């Protein structure tokens, strides 16, 4: 059985609160290759906390040109007074297929007017929006860090204000996904915080698997464990597993 994987949730750079991370794209690419992952989105941990992440975004984009299979996923911080200029510059680069928003790590709220304005502009440019609702389980976070995940109700209101967006929302638990799914079907999700004996089978009760994609959350989680959620699913057909592993994400990017 051969299943191709496209990783929608990989990171490069160093995490300041623990000794983990892939220092550069070449290292991450070797990690992917070792696990049979063909390519995917990559964001910069070095850009995550900065009000102005421009330099790290630019470095990520430039480095991605030299490493096959890497689609750069730059981060936009809406606390940056010049965020609209940063976004306009990102939109000029054809290699940028999507933009990541990470409110909890940028210090802003998803109910800010700028969150709607930025999402509308990204969508109008024919690109996709990726929302990081949670990156690290807050129960296991460094005690000095008091970050809370983006609430499902707030995400639903934000989606409703941006017609046609269909963001990829990452980091929600089953219960949070259920809450979001009751309000809207206009989103995709990964399984990075979806842990069950048959994760795909349980997820299928919450959202249509056509809206599920693979995300390893490398380097925070064990890559193979997330792959096993798909390859070892006892309930999903091979065609469904292939779609979640890569097909759904690739179609989403092309549509």
- Annotated domain spans of the chain: 5-254
pLDDT of residue 215: 97
Q: What is the mean pLDDT of each run of 10 residues along the chain (255 residues)?
A: 93 84 92 97 96 97 96 98 98 98 95 97 98 84 76 98 97 95 97 88 94 96 95 94 98 93
Name the token pair of 216: 């390893």
Residue 44: strand pairing partners: 12
Q: Give the strands of the sheet with 75-76, arranged side by side.
A: 75-76, 98-101, 128-132, 168-170, 188-190, 212-213
pLDDT of residue 232: 92
The DSSP annotation for 112-178 comes to SHHHHHHHHHHHHTT-EEEEES-SS-GGGS-TT----PPPHHHHHHHHHTSTT---EEES--HHHHH
Question: In which element (H, E) is residue 43 found?
Answer: strand 37-44
pLDDT of residue 1: 60
pLDDT of residue 140: 66
Name the token pair of 40: 């995917």
pLDDT of residue 68: 94
DSSP summary character for residue 49: T
CATH number for 5-254: choose from 3.40.50.10470, 3.40.50.150, 3.40.50.970, 3.20.20.140: 3.20.20.140
DSSP summary character for residue 95: T
pLDDT of residue 144: 66
pLDDT of residue 21: 77
* Alpha-carbon dihedral 89, 104, 137, 250, rounded to 10 degrees: -30
């Amino acid at each position: 059985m051969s299943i191709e994987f496209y990783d929608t949730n990989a990171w490069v750079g160093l995490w300041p609160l623990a000794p983990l991370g892939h220092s550069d794209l070449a290292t991450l690419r070797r990690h992917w290759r070792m696990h049979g992952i063909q390519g995917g989105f990559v964001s910069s941990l070095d850009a995550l906390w900065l009000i102005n992440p421009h330099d790290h975004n630019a470095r990520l984009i430039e480095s991605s040109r030299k490493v096959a299979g890497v689609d750069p996923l730059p981060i936009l911080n809406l606390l940056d007074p010049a965020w609209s200029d940063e976004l306009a510059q990102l939109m000029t680069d054809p290699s940028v297929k999507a933009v990541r928003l990470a409110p909890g790590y940028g210090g802003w709220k998803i109910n800010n007017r700028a969150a709607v304005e930025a999402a509308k502009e990204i969508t109008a440019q024919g690109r996709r929006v990726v929302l990081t609702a949670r990156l690290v389980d807050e129960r296991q976070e460094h005690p000095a860090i008091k970050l809370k995940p983006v609430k499902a109700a707030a995400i639903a209101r934000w989606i409703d204000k941006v017609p046609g967006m269909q963001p990829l929302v990452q980091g929600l638990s089953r219960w949070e996904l259920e809450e979001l799914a009751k309000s809207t079907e206009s989103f995709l999700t990964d399984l990075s915080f979806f842990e069950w004996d048959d994760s795909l089978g349980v997820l299928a009760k919450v959202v249509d698997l056509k809206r599920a994609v693979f995300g390893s959350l490398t380097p925070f989680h064990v890559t193979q464990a997330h792959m096993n959620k798909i390859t070892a699913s006892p309930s999903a057909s091979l065609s469904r597993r292939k779609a979640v592993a890569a097909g759904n994400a690739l179609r989403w990017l092309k549509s």
